[in-house]
């Protein structure tokens, strides 16, 4: 490949050095701050003389594992739809999420679980770290194919911090409820990525247009991601909710919502196409919007009907977004959204936040009984009315949009640092830039004139 020796040497060293430095730094911070919590420490657990069956592990670990599958298999393979970017989609997902899990354990730990100078970890911190990795991967989806791994690592470094702060403001300061993260994960991750993609706008990206689509088998790999995300979304939304009816109801609502978003996606996809045929992009993505849209409200008394209606709406909006809004987003707003995260996470995330406003505003003591304490503790304790909770939820959405936008902007500036390696316009969506592979059956990489991003 025709590139300058300086950039080649930079590529050779920058990524490993950043990895080693960040891994060293997190390891030192772990050594200083991170300790087993009450449920994972041999001495502490046995000191309490607990029944082993009461260990949080048995209530949350199966859900954690489902979430873990979603983050690594779901996101990774969903993004593998690109014909020449499967290694990067799956590989960089793997890489970014592995870093985000460590880094987020520290950030979330400092903000949420810092007691006596130490961060205490267990299955709940594992779930929360995976959630943060999810937000990072949503942002990755917006810029997929247009950035190098060192850039992505810096993006994760920044985004994890802002994710943690935003989550802290919402959950701890504002008393907002957002178990499945319609706001904290989906809205935040999507708009962070979209603003970042705006800053990194490439006017001549059509040079890589021939690699922006899928091939037959890459679409099937992407369906592996879609289906695992769809299946386990009930576990995602219910993983951090209160035990008992809380987890159970959240899973049930999410399950119904997803069935409805699937049907509306199939209906709309056929309806908006030229000849009634279905579009794999819609099925792979919009069918999942039902999970996003009940992220806030699925732990509430949404009712099964409410879940169906919400899912139906989300699938519809998301499919229409892919068809009509994504082109406008690029042509008018100069946002190149590779995976359409605006349609899958952005709009459904905002809808989910608003649905949370509505359902919180309708909360009554009759509907929740003594369970109100678990879902809306501030209402149960009389510190807030349902209307006040609803207003706080709405304010949480604005805070999230603000953090995401400012964060995405900062992220964009960070990723434009001249020392960072990035693919030229003609090298986008191309594994060969980052991966050694002697697969002669594939097209040779066309190298062209200097890129536009610099």
Residue list 431-450, contact with its own copies (CB under 8 A): 433-439, 441-442
Nearer to its own copies, 361 or 371 (CB): 371
Contact status: 86 vs its own copies (CB under 8 A):
yes
Say if residues 284 and 344 touch (Cβ distance below 8 Å): no
Nearer to its own copies, 89 or 400 (CB): 89
Show contacts with its own copies in window 154-183 (CB under 8 A).
none
Show contacts with its own copies in window 367-386 (CB under 8 A).
367-372, 374-375
SS3 category, 120: strand
Smallest distance from its own copies to CB 446, Å: 17
**DSSP states of 414-427:** HHT-TTS----GGG
Query: What is the biggest distance separating any 2 CA atoms in the chain, rounded to whole angstroms?
Result: 71
Show contacts with its own copies in window 118-137 (CB under 8 A).
121-123, 126
Contact status: 259 vs its own copies (CB under 8 A):
yes
Q: For its own copies, which residue of 81, 99, 163, 188 counts as binding (CB under 8 A)? A: 99
Nearer to its own copies, 421 or 425 (CB): 421
Site string for its own copies, 380-419 (x = CB under 8 A): ----------------------------------------
Whole-Å CA distances, 293 to 93, 252, 261: 23, 14, 10
Q: For its own copies, which residue of 6, 275, 331, 444 counts as binding (CB under 8 A)? A: 275
Show contacts with its own copies in window 323-352 (CB under 8 A).
none
Say if residues 339 and 288 touch (Cβ distance below 8 Å): no
Residue 98 phi/psi, 5-degree rounding, is -60, -40
Nearer to its own copies, 194 or 239 (CB): 239
Residue 337 phi/psi, 5-degree rounding, is -110, 90
Nearer to its own copies, 130 or 337 (CB): 130
Say if residues 357 and 300 touch (Cβ distance below 8 Å): no
Pairing of strands 34-36, 118-121: parallel
As a whole number of Å, the CA-based R_g of the chain is: 22
Say if residues 196 and 411 touch (Cβ distance below 8 Å): yes
How many residues are listed for the chain in this entry? 454
Smallest distance from its own copies to CB 386, Å: 14
Contact status: 27 vs its own copies (CB under 8 A):
yes
Q: For its own copies, which residue of 111, 165, 174, 227 counts as binding (CB under 8 A)? A: 227
CA separation for the pair 103, 107 (Å, rounded): 6
Q: How far apart are the first and last CA of the chain?
A: 19
Calculate ∠ Cα 248-130-249, nearest 5°. 10
Span interacting with its own copies, options 63-71, 322-330, 347-355, 383-391, rule CB under 8 A: 63-71
Contact status: 224 vs its own copies (CB under 8 A):
yes
Nearer to its own copies, 316 or 336 (CB): 316
Q: For its own copies, which residue of 115, 173, 303, 398 counts as binding (CB under 8 A)? A: 303
């Amino acid at each position: 490949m025709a590139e300058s020796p300086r950039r080649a040497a930079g590529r050779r060293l920058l990524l490993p050095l950043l990895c080693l430095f960040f891994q060293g730094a997190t390891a030192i911070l772990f050594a200083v701050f991170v300790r087993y919590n009450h449920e994972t420490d041999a001495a502490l657990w046995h000191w309490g003389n607990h029944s082993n069956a009461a260990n949080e592990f048995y209530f949350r670990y199966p859900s954690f594992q489902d979430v873990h599958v979603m983050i690594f298999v779901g996101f990774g393979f969903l993004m593998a739809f690109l014909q020449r970017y499967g290694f990067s989609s799956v590989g960089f997902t793997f890489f970014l999420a592995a870093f985000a899990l460590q880094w987020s354990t520290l950030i979330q730990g400092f903000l949420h679980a810092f007691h006596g100078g130490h961060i205490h970890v267990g299955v709940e911190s594992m779930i929360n770290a995976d959630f943060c990795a999810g937000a990072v991967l949503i942002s990755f989806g917006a810029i997929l194919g247009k950035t190098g791994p060192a850039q992505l690592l810096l993006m994760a470094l920044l985004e994890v911090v802002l994710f943690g702060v935003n989550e802290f403001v919402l959950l701890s300061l504002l008393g907002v409820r957002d178990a499945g993260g319609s706001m904290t994960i989906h809205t935040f991750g999507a708009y962070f990525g979209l603003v970042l993609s705006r800053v990194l706008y490439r006017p001549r990206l059509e040079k890589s247009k021939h690699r922006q689509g899928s091939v037959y088998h890459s679409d099937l790999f992407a369906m592996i991601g879609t289906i695992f995300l769809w299946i386990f979304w009930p576990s995602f939304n219910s993983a951090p909710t209160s035990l008992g009816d809380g987890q159970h109801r959240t899973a049930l609502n999410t399950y119904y919502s997803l069935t409805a978003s699937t049907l509306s996606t199939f209906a709309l996809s056929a309806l908006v196409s030229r000849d009634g045929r279905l579009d794999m992009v819609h099925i792979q993505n919009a069918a999942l919007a039902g999970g996003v849209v009940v992220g806030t409200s699925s732990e509430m008394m949404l009712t099964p009907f409410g879940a169906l209606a919400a899912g139906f709406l989300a699938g519809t909006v998301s499919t229409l977004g892919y068809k009509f809004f994504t082109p406008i987003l690029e042509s008018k707003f100069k946002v190149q959204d590779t995976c359409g995260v605006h349609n899958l996470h952005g709009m459904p995330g905002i809808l989910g936040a608003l649905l949370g406003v509505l359902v919180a505003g309708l909360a009554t003591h009759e509907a929740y009984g003594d369970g109100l304490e678990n879902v809306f503790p501030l209402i149960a304790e009389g510190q807030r009315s349902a209307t006040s909770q609803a207003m706080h939820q709405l304010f949480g959405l604005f805070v999230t949009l603000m953090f995401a936008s400012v964060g995405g902007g900062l992220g964009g500036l960070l990723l434009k640092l001249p020392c960072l390696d990035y693919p030229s316009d003609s090298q986008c969506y191309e594994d060969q830039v980052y991966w050694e592979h002697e697969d002669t059956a594939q097209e040779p990489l066309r190298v062209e004139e200097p890129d536009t991003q610099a």
